[in-house]
Amino acid sequence: MLNVKNTSVMNFENALRRARNPMNGWGRSDSHYDSKGLFIIGENDTLI
């Protein structure tokens, strides 16, 4: 049996960038890092 105790989400920014790649929509990306270093997903990127 596999027991997983420590998990984290990583590389989310690159995943969004790759999702925009087929649509040539890099300029529409509005996600960013805030002053605390948290990655904020913008409204345009939630529509992908």
* CB distance 44 to 30 below 8 Å: yes
Q: What is the pLDDT of residues 17-44, one digit of tens each?
A: 888 777 777 778 888 899 998 889 889 8
Phi, psi of 5 (to 5 degrees): -110, -35
Rounded to two decimals, the pTM is: 0.57
How far apart (Å, rounded) are the C-alpha atoms in residues 41 and 18?
14
How far apart (Å, rounded) are the C-alpha atoms in residues 45 and 48?
6
How far apart (Å, rounded) are the C-alpha atoms in residues 6 and 33?
24
- Which pLDDT score is estimated for 9? 80
Q: 3-7, 9-13, 28-32, 40-44 — which is least confidently predicted?
A: 9-13
- Which pLDDT score is estimated for 22? 74
